Amino acid sequence: MKTNSRRAGLAITTALTTIALAACSGGSSGGGTDTVGGNGGKAETIKLSEYCGSDCVEGLAFSGDQEAVKCTVGISQNSLQHPYGVAQKKGFEAAAKAYFPNMKLIITDAQGDSVTQSNQVQDMVTRGIDVLLITPFEADSLVPAVKAAVGAKVKVITHDRTVNTPVLTELLDDNEALGKAAGQYFADRLGAEGGNVVMIKGSLGASATNERTDGFMSVVKSNPAIKIVATQTGNYVRTEGLTVMQDYLQRFPKGKLTAVYAQNDEMALGARQAIQEAGRDDDIWVYGLDGSKTGMEAVKSKQLAGTVVYPTNVPEGIVAAAKACSGESMPKQISLTGAAITPENVDKYLKASQF
């Protein structure tokens, strides 16, 4: 129920940009807000993704009347600067329309800024959302906003990334497992001979970045011949991955670098571009993460050595929000599982790429 006490407890610290009343396929322009859905219609049978295993399916089993879900869900995206976030937004809109046609979505784009995301969360709570589905830009800086939402009786679900405060449910892709899969590839390929490796991290302070680093290092640290000689952040953006790699190439001349571990496909493709432009394509190989369509195409063409699928949580995030709206119980954590992509199996997964 939306009450005045909820509004009184949370002040709007900044004005949001234009609110676009969009159809399901409408896009969010920089930093803005989209309000979509709630237009009624007949609900389709829920189909979860292939990355939602048996425990995930059990945790997200919806037992109520799909068309009776009439709540408002605030979806706080940390950034739409990369294809993963864009695919999530479009997927959530499509899932809500198909499965819960009376659910209303308010979707925001924080443009990779914690202050903006905190302000947008505060505004959505003030507007009376029932559920907050959030991918936090940083695990610590979003704590006050999430705590305030919980205090205002909003049911909070994190996905993709976590925040360092209790929430109703964490919808998790296993980032540490992705890092371990990448680390195992490096360990197997480099073997006893080893090599010099540079790392291009995602956004600093993000749980995904920390876990993709920890998982990778937990494997490669057992081989002293594999040396991580430099680490920089590329914020999960291709152009920044390009810039970081250009710096690495200046610091490490030909023969001094063996491979690149980039924590998403976009940065990996930026790194590959820098390597090609420097004429060192045969000198250094690159491994990405996320399993995007462009990333898998690059694996198929041997531009990238490999990648690991990182599920978009579509439609799982919307189903979790509907269960929260309806008061149905869920586990504290619900996990999805990706797959390691190689040139040998890429065709199988390329056909089912989520973004």
What ranges do the domains of the chain cover? 4-167+313-335, 175-308
pLDDT band at 21 (very low <50, low <70, confident <90, very high): very low
Q: Which two tokens stand for residue 168?
A: 């109703």
Res 353: pLDDT: 85
* Residue 266 clears pLDDT 70, i.e. is over it: yes
pLDDT band at 199 (very low <50, low <70, confident <90, very high): very high
- Residue 19 sits at the vertex; the CA angle it makes with 71 and 125, to the nearest 5 degrees, is 45
- Ramachandran quadrant class, 255 (left: phi over 0; alpha: psi -120 to 50; beta: rest): left
For residues 238 and 271, give the distance between their C-alpha atoms in angstroms, rounded to a whole number.
Answer: 8
The reported pLDDT for the residue numbered 347 is 94
Please report the pLDDT score of residue 334 as a whole number.
96
Domain 4-167+313-335 architecture:
3-Layer(aba) Sandwich (3.40)
Residue 294 has pLDDT above 60, yes or no: yes
CA 95 → CA 6, 52, 100, distances in Å? 28, 15, 8
Residue 7 pLDDT level (bands cut at 50, 70, 90): very low
Asked if the domains at 4-167+313-335 and 175-308 fall in one CATH topology, the answer is yes
Q: Residue 44 pLDDT more than 60?
A: yes
Q: Does the pLDDT value for residue 118 go beyond 50?
A: yes
Tell me: the pLDDT tens digits for 208-257? Answer: 999 999 999 999 999 999 999 999 999 999 999 999 999 999 999 999 99
Q: Which pLDDT score is estimated for 36? A: 86
Cα–Cα distance for residue pair 126/229, rounded to 1 Å: 48
SS (H, E, C) the chain: CCCHHHHHCCCCCCCCCCEEECCCCCCCCCCCEEEEECCCCCCCCCCCCCCCCHHHHHHCCCCCCHHHCCCEEEEEECCCCCHHHHHHHHHHHHHHHHHCCCCEEEEEECCCCHHHHHHHHHHHHHCCCCEEEECCCCCCCCHHHHHHHHHCCCEEEEECCCCCCCCCEEEEECHHHHHHHHHHHHHHHHHHHCEEEEEEECCCCCHHHHHHHHHHHHHHCCCCCEEEEEEEECCCCHHHHHHHHHHHHHHCCCCCCCEEEECCHHHHHHHHHHHHHCCCCCCCEEECCECCHHHHHHHHCCCCCEEEECCCCCCHHHHHHHHHHHCCCCCCEEEECCCEECCCCHHHHHCCCCC
Confidence bin at 19 (pLDDT 50/70/90): very low
Options 3.40.50.1000, 3.40.50.9100, 3.40.50.2300, 3.40.1160.10; CATH for 175-308 is: 3.40.50.2300
- Look at residue 5 in the predicted model and tell me its pLDDT: 39
Residue 83 near residue 297, CB atoms below 8 Å: no
pLDDT value, residue 35: 85
Considering the chain, what percentage of its residues have pLDDT values greater than 70?
A: 91
Residue 322's pLDDT is 98
The pLDDT-based confidence of 82 (bands split at 50, 70, 90) is confident
Please determine, for residue 196, whether its predicted confidence score (pLDDT) is greater than 80: yes
A 10 A CB-CB count for 42 gives 8
